[in-house]
Amino acid sequence: MTDSTTQSAETRSGVEIRDLYKIFGSNPKRYIDAVKNGMTKTELNDKHNHVLGLQNINLELPPGQISVIMGLSGSGKSTLIRHINGLIMPTAGQILYNGRDVVQMNEQELREFRRHETAMVFQKFALLPHRTVLQNVSYGLDVQGIARSKSEPIARKWIERVGLAGYEDNYPAQLSGGMQQRVGLARALANDADILLMDEAFSALDPLIRMDMQKVLLDLQSELKKTIIFITHDLDEALRLGDKIAILRDGALSQVGTGQQIVLNPANDYIAEFVREVNRGRVIKAETVATPLPEGDAPLPEFKIKGGSTLEKAARRLAEHDQRKATVVARDGRPIGTIDMHTMLTAMVTPATVDDEDAA
């Protein structure tokens, strides 16, 4: 196995989805041209008793980042993630990784791809009840034919990394839901796969445990730089985890961008309604709304705010130090813009809709 912890994201490939369509029914290929030419999901179902699952998906999922695919129930997000490892095959389109099309792989190639290049974390944990924690975590390595003398130290390492040291001999029934999901995460990481697929992985957990698992994932990702594709219906979770977010509606992409872009510039009314209740102060960063540096040698405010600070934290800092304006700096301390209290407060307020104005 390769050691992905020492492999930079720049040397690895992301996943590219091109012109992907999925029609469910007895003869899906018969209707693919009609769908491409404008037949709607409703028409396809009413006239031909086929279901349009995914429609014209074009999406790049960068290496070493967390890409979140989100949407409401029935939007196609779980269908899409199962295309990436070939559990579902498309009616048309390509799924590219390292120059290879998953769709064109034969059965043996697909089996090897799933064993070595991808790992999956499920919503319902999917642990083997008759296996201990140690045996569950080492399961993928056992399937690969790796000797127990080599697989067990790897499994123990990841059990410790997810905070379960001392539970190696316990069975899943003896663990809480959060602990069981940590086992599932450790099992996926033990395979050393570049692509980590997480389908509603934390949705079955209580809110506090869910936030704890999100932190565990972010802490691990800051070091491992896996290519993580995370499915969720929860916008707050998407905004917390996602370097890139793709929002699906009825099997089609509604908007793709960073959390900042989606909250500040929703592409349509559907997205605007989605993000309406977001606490913008806890999502939008100072660098996103900062005014560019002035030309020439104009003096900059002496007070400094980190560009990665949320507007809520930045505004609190300004208020605590009785400041109205600050220089926004990058991680290396380099000035990248300026910001003032008025700009921050304006950005934190959700724009009024027509209904709001009518009510007023």
Q: Which domains does the chain have, with CATH numbers?
A: 4-117+193-275 (3.40.50.300), 284-348 (3.10.580.10)
**Under 8 Å CB-to-CB from 132, ≥6 apart: which residues?**
168, 169, 170, 171
Instruction: Round to whole Å and give the CA distance between 152 and 136.
Output: 11
Asked if residue 352 has pLDDT above 60, the reply is no
Report the mean per-residue pLDDT for the chain: 90
* Contact yes or no for 181/212 (Cβ under 8 A): no
* Contact yes or no for 70/234 (Cβ under 8 A): yes
Closest CA relative to residue 344, chosen from 302, 259, 285: 285
The three-class DSSP label of residue 90 is coil
For 118-137, the pLDDT digits (tens) are 998 887 778 889 999 999 99
**Which pLDDT does position 142 carry in this prediction?**
86
Global pTM value: 0.86
Instruction: Round to whole Å and give the CA distance between 240 and 214.
Output: 8
Phi, psi of 330, rounded to the nearest 5 degrees: -75, 180
**Which pLDDT does position 298 carry in this prediction?**
83
The three-class DSSP label of residue 326 is strand
For 249-308, the pLDDT digits (tens) are 999 999 999 999 999 999 999 999 888 888 899 889 999 999 999 887 888 999 999 999
* Contact yes or no for 249/71 (Cβ under 8 A): yes
270 burial class (0-12, 13-18, 19+ CB within 10 angstroms)? middle
* Contact yes or no for 335/328 (Cβ under 8 A): yes
Asked if residue 5 has pLDDT above 50, the reply is no
- The runs of H, that is alpha helices, within the chain are 32-36, 41-48, 77-84, 107-116, 133-137, 139-143, 148-161, 177-190, 207-224, 235-241, 259-264, 269-275, 286-289, 311-320, 341-348, 354-359
Instruction: Round to whole Å and give the CA distance between 18 and 147.
Output: 39
Query: What percent of the chain lies above the pLDDT cut of 70?
Result: 94
